[in-house]
Each structure stands twice: as C-alpha cells, then as structure tokens.
Structure 1
Amino acid sequence: MALRNSFIDVSSYNPDTKEFFQAAKNQGALGAVVKLTEGSEDGSAYVNPRAAAQIRNALAVGLKVSCYHFARYTSIADAQNEARFFVKIAKQFGMYDDTLMIDDAEVHSVTDYQSTSLAFLQEVEALGYKNTGIYSMKSFFTGGILNSHGFGSREIWVAGYGVTSLGIDNATAWQTTDHGIMGIDTSLDFDGAFTTGATAGTVPQINVPAPQPVQHVGHPATGTYIVQPGDTLSGIAEKYGTTYQNLAAINSIGDPNHINVGQVLKVTGQPTSENTYFVQAGDTLSGIAIKFGTTVSDLVSRNHITNPNVIYVGQKLYLAGRGQSNAYTVKSGDTLSNIANIFHTTWQALAQKNGIANPNVIYVGQTIQI
C-alpha cells in the first residue's frame, strides 16, 4: 500500500461545476467517483440529476472518473435489476467499458448480503463493464455482513473514520473522512484504480434486459434517534456504525446538511461504544495526549488533524481503546440527575453544557458531555 492518492466522491448534494473540480484538484484530488443511480428502474428509478455535468467537468480538469450506484436490493433478482439500471444509465452517459463501477452497499436489507452484492457486480460485468468494486463501511466487513475476500480481485473501498487502521488486509481504498477535500467525502487510493490512468475503450453494446418482477422486502430500521443540539447526520451515523448517506436514504432526507433538533430519525444497528474526548477550554493536543497516555502523533493520525496546534472547544477526538472518557451515552432508565451524581457534578451543569432545554427529557443513545 505504498500509493496513497486522494480522491473524492460526489452526488447530487455536491456542486457540478468545472471550478469546483478544479479547486478539488488543487487541494490534492486525483479522482472523482460520481453517483449515477439508486435503486432499480422498477423501484425508485433515481438518477443523479447532476451526474452528467459532474462527469463532464471532472474529466475536463483531468480527474480520473469512476461511477457508483447506491444499492437498495433485497434479493438476488432485485440486485440484478439494479445492476441493469446502473449499466443502462452509464451507457446513456457514454461511460467507456473500462470505467470503474462501484456498488455502494451500505443498506443491509437482505440476510445473505454477500451473495446479493456479488450478484450485482457479476451482472454489471456480464453487461460489459468488467472493472468493478464494492464500497461499504468497515463494520460491515469486520462484523461478518460482507467478506472482503469473497469478491475476488475486485476493488474493495472501505469507509472507516477515526481509526488508524482498517483491519481489512485487501482494502484497495479507504474513505477516511466526510469533510476532507472541499469539505466532502475524501478517500485514499492504494492501488491506483481510482486515480491513475485515463478512462478509454468503448461504450458496451450489450443489450440491457428489462427488469425482472421482484418483491421488494427488506429489513426495516431497528430503532429511532431524536436529533439533539449540535448533532450532524454524519455524527449520528458514526454513533450507529453506518454512513450519513444511508441515514439520508432511509429517512428521505434531501439535504444531509440540514436536520432539525427534535427530528425523529430512523436508524439501523445499535450505538457503538467508542473512546472519545470532547475538547475543553484550555486544552492542547499535547495535554490531552499526556492525560490519556498516548502521543500527539497518534491523535493527529487517528483524527486526521492537519495542524496539531489548532483544536476547538467541543471538538470530538477519537482515542485508542474503548469506553468514553468525558462523555456518557444515555441508557434506559437514566435521568440527568443520576448521570450528574455518577460524575460528581450537577444536572444544571450538564443541561447547560449540552444545550438541554428540558432536563427531564433525555433519550437512550444520546451523548452527554461531562
């Protein structure tokens, strides 16, 4: 993994101008993965309205362009339908047959997600696009939902934020942050597939079959979360081991940068236990490192900090190990006064620090800064 080229991924939430992609290139991006589609032609039939301009302008400034499809399949037949839709739109946009085509598999909607995802990629390949890969969260690969070695030589693109290692030995790309270059999703390319070489070839001529009749069934959300002051969709996604794109999709959120305090979101999975520290007034990175028996370099690497002299009050830092240091995750039966007693403080102090208007109302899964 000597290569560590940066690339971005974009969807309808992001700009489509030549100036945007030139600025991204100036900040170090060598490639762009553009969302084309979501779901199937007989289902959501979603096509990114900015895809054509994003592809055109990314190519115009010299970026390597790949494409991705946001998967919603609930069976192998459904996955094949979605693959056909993806290919159909790629051909309409004139994408050559050596374009890297990515399955964005982050909605665990079928028991055997491995076989279903593989069926999607195989159908894309059968229809003329031989260069394929899969994208998903680190937790899907390490938690047994997906087996990275079960995809053969295909690209393995993994989202893993706040960690120094993916723990996935055949990962070929690592999405390290959702606020990197140009403030958006940014990844590292380890083998050059996303960032090197000019896309060439011809548009596949294989006819795309009509969708098969399928029943759309899947796992519903496993719970809900009520948005708190200071929450972001990406922060909530981190808590539940998913991505903001998935939360936006299952909650029909058009703009992931706009959620409202008190909004009830459908979520999947359970809150993760993480070792974090919220920066306090007067903190320095070196002081935090000493306090928790770590090093400045580890904190910088783990949190993708560009300037170790610049941290902010309230900033969430990931630490090595597990268990929270100056934060508490609300459990069933908790009250603010009980939490205050545990940490030898007052409920008034906790309410003020966390922007809690009604101290009698806290929620399971809510993070309380101590």
Structure 2
Amino acid sequence: VAFLVVIGIGGTAHAARTDMLDVSDYNNNGHALTTQQFVNLRNNYGIKAITVKISEGQTWNASTAKANISDAQQAGLYTNGYHFARYNSVATAQAEARHAVQQAQVDGLGIGSVIVTDAESSAQSGVSKATNDKANQAFSQIIQQAGYRCDIYTMGSWVNAKMTVANGSGWIAYYPYHVTTDRYTSNHAWQFSSTMTFAGLSGRYDVSQLYDNYYTANTDKNAVISNSQTTHVTTQTAAKSNK
C-alpha cells in the first residue's frame, strides 16, 4: 500500500503498536517472506495480521502473493489481501473486483478474509466524492458476494473528502512527524509509518495499529500475541508525509 510521499525521515518509527504488516512484490528485494521471517515478526514485533497485495487494476497480479499468504498462515498469522484500485466508475470497479476475487482464490486467500480496496490513485483523485463512493460500493458488493469481507484503505486527507469512510470501517494512512497519540481510533486500523525496519528483513515496511478484530477474522487479535509485548504510542520521530 502506501504510495504516500515522504518529505523527511527522522529515524525508524516504532511508536504505535506494530499489529499489522502489509507486503507486496516491492518488499524484501522482490521475494516472499519465509515462514520463519513471519514467526520472527510475530514473536519479536507483535505482528498479528498480514495484508498481502494480490492485484492491481484489471489485469496485474502480484508474483509473491501466493507464497506470502501461505507462509504467513503457517506462522499462525491472520492473512488478508489488498487490491490497488485504478477504477473511477461503477463499471471499472466491478471489473477490478472480479479480478481481485479471482486472484485471491488463485493465491489461496481463505474465504472470510478481508480484501481491501486501496483507493489512493490519480483515478480517484480526478472524480467526485459521489462517484468514488458509488465505485467503492460496487467493488465491495462483488467482494462480499464471493464470501470475502471488504474494507477501504486511503490517506487521511481523503477521508470523507474524496470518499466516504464511515466510523467502524476503514484503514487509514497518516504519518505524523511525531507519533504522540493514537489516531483514527474510530476506524479499523491506522497505518502510521511506511519506513519500519525489522531485523532479518531487507528494506522498509508499512505498519499499522489495529483498533478492533476486523483484520483478525473477528477473533481476539491478542490470541496471536499480546499487546503487552508490543510497543505502545509514545513520543517518537517518524516519517513525515504531506498527506
């Protein structure tokens, strides 16, 4: 996820809880993470859920998705998927949703998992809020008809401005320079950094704090690993974004 523009970096952010990690072909030098790497993330960083990029637009598929989903499941982590949205109409949203469902099934994403529409592209920025809302609803309907659950990921500045994200839903990206307080607590999750580093992994990662159990199959997220073993919000320096 996270096509947000980073203005400055003041070090690795480890302030809010690292409950969820999202991964794509761009991570780990283009290789899927191994089961042991996911176990390390679970045991040492408190990761409970993984959301894997599975598709984009109407034709693109992630080459590492199948292995990432399988390896995360073997590590005992809840697995979900996300689709990078290029749609800007009901018809294109429906086409992309069908593609996302097909690819999720090919990649072994379990029925009942979340498939997120990652709505942050120029396609959505160029149309009205009403158009985006109709398109997001059309995407969600097809996802749910296939037996999956759906959610919207977008940047904080777009929430209820470029598209509706109701309380009790949504995964919101916002990277404050100082991570001093919980944000977007009425939503499912807050992605607070795109620059997290982990021992044993190459590159930087997107990390999110969960506020409910939506991304853990509506079961207690602390059954994976207790929040008491993770870092809570304190005054820290994180990546600063213009979003």
- The alignment's TM-score, normalised by the length of structure 1, stands at 0.48
Note if contact 1:31-1:63 (Cα within 8 Å) is conserved in structure 2.
Answer: yes
Match of 2:235 among 282, 292, 301: 301
Aligned counterpart, 2:170: 156
Aligned residues: 196
**1:97 Cα deviation (Å)?**
1.8
Note if contact 1:36-1:51 (Cα within 8 Å) is conserved in structure 2.
Answer: yes
Q: Does 1:46 align with 2:65?
A: no
Deviations 1:296-340 (A, max 9, x none): xx9x53635xxxxxxxxxxx779xxxxxxxxxxxxxxxxxxxxxx
Q: Does 1:103 align with 2:103?
A: no
Percent sequence identity over aligned pairs? 31
Deviations 1:231-260 (A, max 9, x none): xxxxxxxxxxxxxxxxxxxxxxxxxxxxxx
* In structure 2, C-alpha distance between the alignment counterparts of 1:119 and 1:108, rounded to whole Å: 19
Match of 1:27 among 23, 38, 45: 45
* In structure 2, C-alpha distance between the alignment counterparts of 1:105 and 1:166, rounded to whole Å: 23
Note if contact 1:148-1:170 (Cα within 8 Å) is conserved in structure 2.
Answer: no
Matches within 5 A, 1:82-231: 82-109=96-123, 110-111=127-128, 112-129=131-148, 131-141=149-159, 144-149=161-166, 155-162=169-176, 164=180, 168=184, 170-180=186-196, 182=198, 183-195=204-216, 197=219
**CA separation of 1:160/1:317 partners in 2, compared to 1, >3 Å: closer, same or farther?**
closer
* In structure 2, C-alpha distance between the alignment counterparts of 1:164 and 1:115, rounded to whole Å: 35
Matches within 5 A, 1:257-296: none
Large movers: runs of 4+ above 4 Å: 163-169
**1:85 Cα deviation (Å)?**
0.2
* In structure 2, C-alpha distance between the alignment counterparts of 1:102 and 1:86, rounded to whole Å: 10
In the alignment, structure 2 segments of 5+ residues that lack a partner are 1-16, 199-203, 221-232
Note if contact 1:29-1:181 (Cα within 8 Å) is conserved in structure 2.
Answer: no
In the alignment, structure 1 segments of 5+ residues that lack a partner are 199-297, 305-315, 319-370
Note if contact 2:89-2:134 (Cα within 8 Å) is conserved in structure 1.
Answer: no
Note if contact 1:5-1:190 (Cα within 8 Å) is conserved in structure 2.
Answer: no
**1:132 Cα deviation (Å)?**
1.3
Deviations 1:243-301 (A, max 9, x none): xxxxxxxxxxxxxxxxxxxxxxxxxxxxxxxxxxxxxxxxxxxxxxxxxxxxxxx9x53
Match of 2:86 among 68, 72, 85: 72
Note if contact 2:184-2:190 (Cα within 8 Å) is conserved in structure 1.
Answer: no
* In structure 1, C-alpha distance between the alignment counterparts of 2:183 and 2:78, rounded to whole Å: 27
**1:126 Cα deviation (Å)?**
2.0
Partner amino acid for 2:88?
T
**1:193 Cα deviation (Å)?**
2.0
**1:80 Cα deviation (Å)?**
0.3
Note if contact 2:70-2:108 (Cα within 8 Å) is conserved in structure 1.
Answer: no
* In structure 2, C-alpha distance between the alignment counterparts of 1:115 and 1:168, rounded to whole Å: 23
- The alignment's TM-score, normalised by the length of structure 2, stands at 0.72
RMSD of aligned residue pairs (Cα, Å) = 2.7
- 1:176 aligns to what SS in structure 2? strand
**CA separation of 1:119/1:32 partners in 2, compared to 1, >3 Å: closer, same or farther?**
same
- 1:20 aligns to what SS in structure 2? helix
Deviations 1:188-226 (A, max 9, x none): 01102224649xxxxxxxxxxxxxxxxxxxxxxxxxxxx
Note if contact 1:179-1:185 (Cα within 8 Å) is conserved in structure 2.
Answer: yes
**CA separation of 1:108/1:168 partners in 2, compared to 1, >3 Å: closer, same or farther?**
farther
* In structure 2, C-alpha distance between the alignment counterparts of 1:66 and 1:122, rounded to whole Å: 17
**CA separation of 1:49/1:190 partners in 2, compared to 1, >3 Å: closer, same or farther?**
same
- 2:48 aligns to what SS in structure 1? strand
**1:55 Cα deviation (Å)?**
0.6
Partner amino acid for 1:22?
V
- 2:191 aligns to what SS in structure 1? strand
Q: Which has the larger radius of gyration?
A: 1
**1:165 Cα deviation (Å)?**
5.5
* In structure 1, C-alpha distance between the alignment counterparts of 2:22 and 2:140, rounded to whole Å: 19
**1:186 Cα deviation (Å)?**
0.5
**1:161 Cα deviation (Å)?**
0.4
* In structure 2, C-alpha distance between the alignment counterparts of 1:60 and 1:167, rounded to whole Å: 31
**1:168 Cα deviation (Å)?**
4.4
Deviations 1:119-160 (A, max 9, x none): 11112112332x211111001115x112212xx85x310001
Note if contact 1:175-1:186 (Cα within 8 Å) is conserved in structure 2.
Answer: yes
Q: Does 1:62 align with 2:63?
A: no
**1:37 Cα deviation (Å)?**
0.2
